[in-house]
Amino acid sequence: MSAPVLGRGLGATLVLQVLTSARFVTGVEFIADQRLTPIDSYLLSSLNLVLSVQGRESLAPIIWRPFEVKYSITVPSEAVAVAIQATVSADFQSDAHVKLHRPDDAQMETLASGVPSSFLAVPTEEAVRLILELRLGTSATNYTIAVLRSTITSFYEFKFPDPATMSTPKATLTGLTVYDNFGIPVRTKPIFFLPRRSQYVASVNFTTDWASVMASKNDPEASLELRIDGQDWMPIESGIRSELQTVPSFGWLLFEIKVTSRSAVMEGYSPLVYQAIVSKSIPCHERCLACFGPDPEHCLRCRAPLVLFDGRCQLTACPANCYYEWQSYQCRRCHPSCAQCTGPGPLACKLCPALHFLLVGEWTDPNGACVGTCLGGTFAHPPSRRCKLPPADIVKTFYVRLLFRVPYLQFQSDIHMQQSVINSTAFVLGLSLSDVRPYTVENVRGKMQMTIEVVSPFLPQAEADQISIDIWFGTFEVPVDVVTTHDWDELHPPLEPLPADPAIPPWAWGIMASASVTFLIMLPVNIFYFRRLNNTRKRYVNRIGVDPVFVNSVVDQSPAWLIRRYVAKDTGEVRRLNHRPDD
């Protein structure tokens, strides 16, 4: 049996192998003797070999059958790494278990249905062996997959320089011929055999199912060994045809002949390996320039002016979300973050999807990354769908007020609906989510009214007013009845002016009132008490200009007790004085 692989006829030869009760490969134990029965149902709907070619992934389907447990596959030289993708049939999704064992590095990996495994490098000298373990209840089977990388590319380009050009004549062949199942030599490229050329491509008719090879050695003492699709080396006789091998319908059959000359090895030369790839001449579809099968989806290159997309030659130009790759002559899908692009990766976007804008280093750069929020002080520029620095003018804020035909309580409890309103508003206005934000949510007669703040230097309020209600109505998930815009002053009316300050502040009136009351109280006290008390304590002194006659008259007319008191106080004598006239 055979399986098609990437390229113009890349395939595999499947050899039936009977499983024993236990398998041990480089210390890794697989299915042990647990009295398990072999898998007898089509557990897998597909089995693919995933090839890593120049940073891209390509699928190479393998024709899988439950009882065929050994698969040998040859891949082109550009496929430097491979992975296994096993898809479980729908009837066994819940019960089947798939594991991949890698004996070379003693690693085991559990595979999910339809998900590729981790990639493994493929050398050109020896085949990489992978063990696929399938379990279904009490049934289990190991499937061995051997993958060898050829030195010939998928477009039949040979390795340069050819190793045979640097070898001694003792280690070369004198003849190498590929025969079909009728014993007729098939055409090869190059047409004639050259001992110093070790790589050949042979083409057989589409009806030819078997092929064999015959090699003749140059050194009579040399030994010849044959390997089929990276399997084990087996000795062959010089000048005798090998056993017939199956030629895959859409793949390669790889013959490797190793020449080991003892005398050449003693001189320091390594054994020389000749490769002969056998493939069927495939009639391509009329639109294909190169192919690996006859169907329209088997194209590798297209006839002008068609371009290759998803393996088909149907379009004259790449779709909007794709770019043309000149190296492989086909359309490649853009990065998921891009709506349109000019190359691979997230930095090659030239147009972004809704609610995303192109962030570029310079305004004139054609490519950049698509971001949902503009960074670095930039704002979404609706006409160009790019992040742009704002002009020198002041950014004016305005508001969009939406009255929805939905109950207020229902809207208030539905977070998804609220976010949907924000996203739809940004979409209609052509802005990013960083330029719009919810301002208020109000209950207006049982309906929900939401006001959204818009901050953008590139979208004035006048342009938002020109958007028709039909556009708003068709965008939202819930029906909207009224859409109005308002400037800053409408939602932020000026405050009432503060009363003018009086000429004399209240605290000054308090101080003045306190001072007046204090003065009115202290004035009579000073006149009638403190001043008289002070006068009684003063010594009488004749003042200049006062008539002494008046003083004498006052003394003569004063009562005696008052005079005695005055004298006693003046002299400091302490005696009892009374107010009686005769005292």
CB 291 within 8 A of CB 6: no
Tally of CB atoms within 10 A around 577: 14
* Three-class DSSP category at 174: strand
pLDDT over 50 (residue 17): no
CA distances from 291 to 298, 308, 316 (A): 5, 11, 18
CB 300 within 8 A of CB 306: no
d(CA 271, CA 172): 9
d(CA 88, CA 47): 9
pLDDT tens track for 216-269? 999 999 999 999 988 889 999 999 999 999 888 767 889 999 999 999 999 999
Phi/psi-derived region of residue 229, left when phi > 0, alpha when psi is between -120 and 50, beta in every other case:
left
CB 49 within 8 A of CB 60: yes
CA distances from 142 to 29, 182, 250, 333 (A): 11, 36, 25, 37
* pLDDT above 90: percentage of residues in the chain: 27
pLDDT for residue 36: 65
Mean pLDDT score of the chain, rounded to an integer? Answer: 82
pLDDT tens track for 436-463? 989 999 898 888 899 999 988 888 888 8
pLDDT for residue 309: 86
Whole-structure pTM over 0.75, yes or no? no
pLDDT tens track for 257-282? 999 999 999 999 999 999 998 888 76
Phi/psi-derived region of residue 525, left when phi > 0, alpha when psi is between -120 and 50, beta in every other case:
alpha
pLDDT tens track for 88-125? 988 888 888 899 998 888 889 999 988 899 988 888 77
CB 257 within 8 A of CB 226: yes
Among 3.30.360.10, 3.30.1370.60, 3.30.70.3310, 2.60.40.2700, name the CATH number for the domain at 397-491.
3.30.70.3310
pLDDT for residue 399: 94
Residues making up the chain, counted from first to last: 583
- Sign of the torsion angle spanned by Cα atoms 344, 348, 350, 356: positive
pLDDT for residue 528: 80
Q: What is the CATH number of domain 12-149?
A: 2.60.40
pLDDT over 80 (residue 553): no
Tally of CB atoms within 10 A around 218: 18
For residues 315 and 291, which has the higher predicted lDDT (pLDDT)? 315
Going by pLDDT thresholds of 50, 70 and 90, the confidence category of residue 400 is very high
pLDDT tens track for 325-353? 887 788 989 999 999 999 999 999 999 99
Among 2.60.40, 1.10.3470, 3.30.43, 1.20.140, name the CATH number for the domain at 163-280.
2.60.40
pLDDT tens track for 403-416? 998 888 888 888 88
pLDDT tens track for 305-319? 888 888 788 888 899
pLDDT for residue 547: 65
Going by pLDDT thresholds of 50, 70 and 90, the confidence category of residue 55 is low
pLDDT over 60 (residue 67): yes
pLDDT for residue 221: 92
Q: Which two tokens stand for residue 376?
A: 């670095």
pLDDT for residue 286: 82
Q: Which two tokens stand for residue 75?
A: 């891949």
Comparing 163-280 with 397-491, is the CATH topology the same? Answer: no
For tokens 């190296």, the residue is: 327
pLDDT over 90 (residue 362): no
Instruction: Report, as an integer, the average pLDDT of 187-194.
Output: 86
Instruction: Report, as an integer, the average pLDDT of 189-203.
Output: 88
Report the candidate in 226, 209, 208, 230 with the shortest Cα–Cα distance to residue 217. Answer: 226
Q: Which two tokens stand for residue 168?
A: 């001694």
Contacts of 381 (CB under 8 A, 6+ apart): 357, 387, 388, 458
Phi, psi of 416 (to 5 degrees): -60, -40
- Sign of the torsion angle spanned by Cα atoms 546, 551, 553, 554: positive
Ranking 6-10, 168-172, 224-228, 304-308 by mean pLDDT, the lowest is 6-10
Going by pLDDT thresholds of 50, 70 and 90, the confidence category of residue 30 is very low
Going by pLDDT thresholds of 50, 70 and 90, the confidence category of residue 179 is very high
pLDDT for residue 570: 65
d(CA 66, CA 41): 6
* Three-class DSSP category at 315: strand
Going by pLDDT thresholds of 50, 70 and 90, the confidence category of residue 19 is very low
pLDDT over 60 (residue 21): no
Radius of gyration of the chain (CA): 53
Going by pLDDT thresholds of 50, 70 and 90, the confidence category of residue 26 is very low
pLDDT for residue 538: 67
pLDDT over 90 (residue 434): no
Residue ranges of the alpha helices (H) in 340-459? 408-413, 415-429
pLDDT for residue 452: 93
Most confident of 121-125, 473-477, 524-528: 473-477
Query: What are the domain boundaries of the chain?
Result: 12-149, 163-280, 334-389, 397-491, 546-583
pLDDT for residue 363: 79
